[in-house]
Structure 1
Amino acid sequence: MRPRRSVNSAWILSVMLASWLAFGPAAGAESDPLPAVKQWESRMVSVGRTVCDLLGRPESTDQLLAQVYYDGTRVFFQMADYTNDASWVACAQRAEAVYRDRYVLPTQGAVPGHWNFTRGLAMDYLRSGDPASRRAVMLLAENAAFARDGTPPAWTMPAEDSREVAYAILSYLDAESVGAPRRARLAMLVEQALGHLDQWFGARTAPVITPFMAGLTAEALIKYYEQTRDPRIPPAIKLALNWLWAHAWISEKEAFWYDSRDTSAASPDLNLLIAPAYAWLYHQTGDSLYRDTGDRIFAGGVKYAWLGDGKHFNQNYRWSFDYVKWRRTTGSMQLHTRAAAVIGDGRDSD
Structure 2
Amino acid sequence: MAHLAFLVLAVTSPTWGSTAAVPPIPQFERWEANMVSYGLKYAAELAAHRDDADVTPLIETAVYYDAARTYHQIGTYTGDPQWRQPMLDAIHVYRDRFVIPNGYDVAGHVLFSDGMLLHLIATGDAISRETVLQMAAKDRWTRPDSPIPLDGAGGTRETAYALKALINARAIDGIQRPRIAVAVDGIIQHIDQWFVSKTAELRPFFIGLALEALIAADEAEPDPRILPAVRFACDGLWDRMWVAEAGAFRYTDNEKAGTDPTADLNLLIAPAYAWVYRRTGDARYLERGDLAFAGGVRAAYLDGVKQFHQNYRWSFAYVAWRSQPPLTVRSARRASAEKKAPVAVRPAAPVVDTAPWRDGIAAALREHGRWPVVIELPLLGDLAEVSVVAVTSSGVDAEHRGNVLPVRWHEITDADLARLGQLALPDEAPALDLAWRLAGAAKDKRTRDAIGYRLLKVDEQRFRALSAPSAAP
Q: Is residue 254 of structure 1 aligned with residue 247 of structure 2?
A: yes
Q: CA deviation at 1:87?
A: 1.1
Give the Cα separation in 1 of the matches to 2:20 and 2:34. 22
Contact 2:22 2:325 in 1 (8 A): no
Q: What do residues 76-126 of structure 1 show as CA deviations (whole Å, max 9, x unaligned)? A: 001111111111111101111100110011112110011110000011111
Question: Counterpart amino acid of 1:337?
Answer: S
Residue of structure 2 in register with 1:9 after alignment: none
Q: Is residue 163 of structure 1 aligned with residue 154 of structure 2?
A: no
Residue of structure 2 in register with 1:244 after alignment: 237
Question: Counterpart amino acid of 1:46?
Answer: S
> 1:201 is matched with which residue: 192, 195, 203?
195
Contact 1:125 1:178 in 2 (8 A): no
Q: CA deviation at 1:254?
A: 0.9
Question: Counterpart amino acid of 2:229?
Answer: A
Residue of structure 2 in register with 1:314 after alignment: 309
> 1:42 is matched with which residue: 33, 37, 44?
33
Q: Is residue 281 of structure 1 aligned with residue 281 of structure 2?
A: no
Q: CA deviation at 1:129?
A: 1.0
Question: Counterpart amino acid of 2:118?
Answer: M
Q: CA deviation at 1:267?
A: 1.1
SS of 1:329's partner is coil
Question: Counterpart amino acid of 1:259?
Answer: T
Give the Cα separation in 2 of the matches to 1:318 and 1:30. 26
> 1:95 is matched with which residue: 79, 83, 90?
90
CA 145–307 in structure 1, closer or farther in 2 if over 3 Å, else same: farther
Residue of structure 1 in register with 2:114 after alignment: 119
Contact 2:160 2:209 in 1 (8 A): yes
Q: CA deviation at 1:340?
A: 3.0
Structure with the higher fraction of residues in helix conformation:
1
Question: Counterpart amino acid of 2:282?
Answer: D
Give the Cα separation in 1 of the matches to 2:221 and 2:173. 17
Residue of structure 1 in register with 2:382 after alignment: none
Q: CA deviation at 1:72?
A: 0.2
Question: Counterpart amino acid of 1:86?
Answer: P
> 1:190 is matched with which residue: 184, 191, 199?
184
SS of 2:155's partner is helix
Give the Cα separation in 2 of the matches to 1:210 and 1:87. 36
Contact 2:22 2:323 in 1 (8 A): no
Give the Cα separation in 2 of the matches to 1:31 and 1:195. 34
Q: RMSD between aligned alpha carbons?
A: 1.8
Structure with the higher fraction of residues in strand conformation:
2
Q: CA deviation at 1:197?
A: 0.8
Give the Cα separation in 1 of the matches to 2:91 and 2:171. 18
Give the Cα separation in 2 of the matches to 1:267 and 1:238. 22
Contact 2:19 2:323 in 1 (8 A): no
Give the Cα separation in 2 of the matches to 1:57 and 1:29. 44
Residue of structure 2 in register with 1:143 after alignment: 138
Question: Counterpart amino acid of 2:127?
Answer: A
Paired residues, what number?
Answer: 318
> 1:214 is matched with which residue: 204, 207, 212?
207
Give the Cα separation in 1 of the matches to 2:303 and 2:114. 23
Q: CA deviation at 1:67?
A: 0.6
Residue of structure 2 in register with 1:337 after alignment: 331
Give the Cα separation in 1 of the matches to 2:205 and 2:283. 22
Give the Cα separation in 2 of the matches to 1:43 and 1:77. 16
> 2:323 is matched with which residue: 310, 324, 328?
328
Give the Cα separation in 2 of the matches to 1:184 and 1:261. 34
Contact 1:126 1:178 in 2 (8 A): no
Q: How does 1:48-63 map to 2 (within 5 A)?
A: 48-58=39-49, 59=52, 60-63=54-57
SS of 1:182's partner is coil
SS of 2:70's partner is helix
Q: How does 1:262-277 map to 2 (within 5 A)?
A: 262=255, 264-277=259-272
Q: What do residues 28-78 of structure 1 show as CA deviations (whole Å, max 9, x unaligned)? A: 556411000111110000110011001111433123222100000000001
Give the Cα separation in 2 of the matches to 1:82 and 1:159. 34
Residue of structure 1 in register with 2:287 after alignment: 292
Give the Cα separation in 2 of the matches to 1:141 and 1:46. 35
Residue of structure 2 in register with 1:8 after alignment: none
TM-score (norm 2): 0.65
Give the Cα separation in 2 of the matches to 1:273 and 1:341. 35
Contact 1:125 1:133 in 2 (8 A): yes
Contact 1:138 1:180 in 2 (8 A): no
Structure 1 window deviating more from structure 2 (322-331 vs 135-144): it is 135-144
Contact 2:22 2:324 in 1 (8 A): no
Contact 1:282 1:330 in 2 (8 A): no
Q: CA deviation at 1:305?
A: 1.2
Question: Counterpart amino acid of 1:114?
Answer: H
SS of 1:56's partner is helix
> 1:129 is matched with which residue: 109, 124, 142?
124
Q: CA deviation at 1:176?
A: 1.6
Q: CA deviation at 1:341?
A: 2.8
Give the Cα separation in 2 of the matches to 1:321 and 1:63. 26
SS of 1:313's partner is helix
Q: How does 1:103-114 map to 2 (within 5 A)?
A: 103-114=98-109
Residue of structure 2 in register with 1:24 after alignment: none
Q: CA deviation at 1:180?
A: 5.0
Contact 2:21 2:325 in 1 (8 A): no
**Structure of higher RCO (CA pairs closer than 8 Å, 6+ residues apart):** 1
Give the Cα separation in 2 of the matches to 1:56 and 1:160. 35
